[in-house]
Amino acid sequence: MSDPTEGEATRDEPPEAVLDELFATIESRQEELPEGSYTASLFTHEKGENAVLEKIGEETTEAILAAKDDDREELTAESADLVYHLLVLFAMKDLDIDDLRAELRERF
């Protein structure tokens, strides 16, 4: 029997690996499209690219409002939503988290 969590996040990884784990989970949802998964629904006509783009807009606005309110907890939560949806968009556009890493690295 195949391992259903193969290629997904594990809680034994160091905290700094969380973005890689999250991206691996997103890619796995994109491939497997399991029922009841919000992430999987973003890759189908149920939601799709427009829904992801809308979410990115919404979460960006919410992060800005949290920053204006000096609400650090809310800013952290909205930023997490934003990063998650941005990584879904990367997977949708056939980009890899390593592309982002390479772009940031090049700027040093």
Ligand X SMILES: N=c1c2ncn([C@@H]3O[C@H](COP(=O)(O)OP(=O)(O)OP(=O)(O)O)[C@@H](O)[C@H]3O)c2ncn1[C@@H]1O[C@H](COP(=O)(O)O)[C@@H](O)[C@H]1O
For the CB of residue 9, give the shortest distance to ligand X in the complex, in Å. 6
For the CB of residue 82, give the shortest distance to ligand X in the complex, in Å. 9
List the one residue out of 46, 47, 43 whose CA is nearest residue 30.
43
Q: What is the rounded CA–CA span in Å between residue 84 and residue 75?
A: 14
Residue 23 engages ligand X in binding (rule: CB under 6 A):
no
* C-beta of 55 vs 91, nearer to ligand X: 55
Structure tokens at 67: 């920053």
| Dihedral sign from CA coordinates of 99, 16, 7, 31 | negative
Residue 39 engages ligand X in binding (rule: CB under 6 A):
yes
For the CB of residue 36, give the shortest distance to ligand X in the complex, in Å. 7
* C-beta of 4 vs 96, nearer to ligand X: 4
Residue 25 engages ligand X in binding (rule: CB under 6 A):
yes
Cα separations in angstroms, 51 against 27, 46, 54, 104: 18, 9, 5, 27
Give the footprint of ligand X on this chain (CB under 6 A). 22, 25, 29, 37-40, 55, 81, 84
